[in-house]
Amino acid sequence: MNSRRIFLRRAGLSGLALSLPLSQTLAAMESQKDDKILRVAIMGLGSYGSRVAEAMVNSKRAKLVGLISGTPSKVETWKQKYGIPDKNCYNYENFDQIKNNPDIDAVYVITPNSLHKPYSIRVAKAGKHVICEKPMALNEAEGREMVAACKTAGVHLLVGYRMHFEAKTMEVVRQQRAGEFGKTLFFQGLSGFIIGDPTQWRLNYELAGGGSMMDIGIYSINGARYMLGEEPIWVTAQEVKTDPVKFKEGVDETITFQMGFPSGAVASCLSTYALNNLDKFYLNGTKGFAEMQPSTGYGPIKAWTNKGPIEAEHVTHQTTQMDEMAAIILDGKKPLIPVDGEEGLKDLVIVDAIYEAVKTGKKIRLA
């Protein structure tokens, strides 16, 4: 009994636990493990950074503790709003100093796409875990550099795939993997909206690395992969551009693309910056179907199958995402659908192939 008491004291449990049955004591220990908090700095205090920060207010496992921005006025506003101390605030020139800050565990990189690779690698070299917004990089080559850098540094590289944790999405995936739709042979993904300000970075090739495909089309690429549960073996694609002034060279307005899978399943997808009301996934099999509309918007997601609607409480996606990512980093949790750098890399391989298919008009085989 003495050894058990010493063990419990070292585990940090209260004296009350000494009188509990062993099963309750172990449950208390598990609960204590779940109380570990991932301390996060956000890099890039724009609109999506704001959304993530607001979501973390309600997070149980992740807390906003640091800021990285090139705009001092934003840093000052955020410091006041979220109670961030001066010592946890950095700019893009000096943020390498986070290596000396034990109060920050991870950095969420929410910058224009072209900055994902260099900034993520700097974060990794500073010894902090990297959470990077999608797309992870501009292309496969950059993505491989990021994966290698994080492995060398011994830190996690996670990608902001919030839909991988959304409840209704997870239920559709569960049903597909359980065979409830039979053999799934067709996926349709429609991803698009009419983009606004023509001067924004998403329409700047140097910053975005492309156009609608790099922003919204990647949802259909990723969705096809996790909805069908396979990796594509070929792609074809076609581009349409109705406004070459707004969508300059290298910035795609609309791309339709198709993917083929080892089972014989095919995916037919659309990515566009020219049409609204395009946020739909449709999965069809030999025994049933699933449909989601909206499928990737901020919510609530609506989903139904041939058996009826899928019901689940709507929780802010980024809140769930940050809690789950904290569990991955702190507890070693393995998610049903990966969100690591290797997952992000698979999407980049397909993006590269789609752009090659558009350029050449050929069916591109994937390794």
Residues acting as catalytic residues: 134, 219
Amino acid letter for position 74: K
Residue with tokens 């990297």: 130
Query: In degrees rounded to 5, what are phi and psi of residue 268?
Result: -125, 120
**Packing angle of the helix pair 140-153, 341-360 (nearest 10 deg):** 170
Q: By three-state DSSP, how is residue 158 classified?
A: strand
Q: How far apart are CA 275 and CA 216, in angstroms?
A: 12
Q: Is 291:282 a contact under the CB 8 Å cutoff?
A: yes
| Cα of 68 vs its chain's centroid, Å | 20
End-to-end CA, the chain: 59
Selection from 104, 271, 263 nearest residue 189 by Cα: 271
Query: Can you say how many angstroms the Cα of residue 139 is from the centroid of all Cα atoms in its chain?
Result: 16
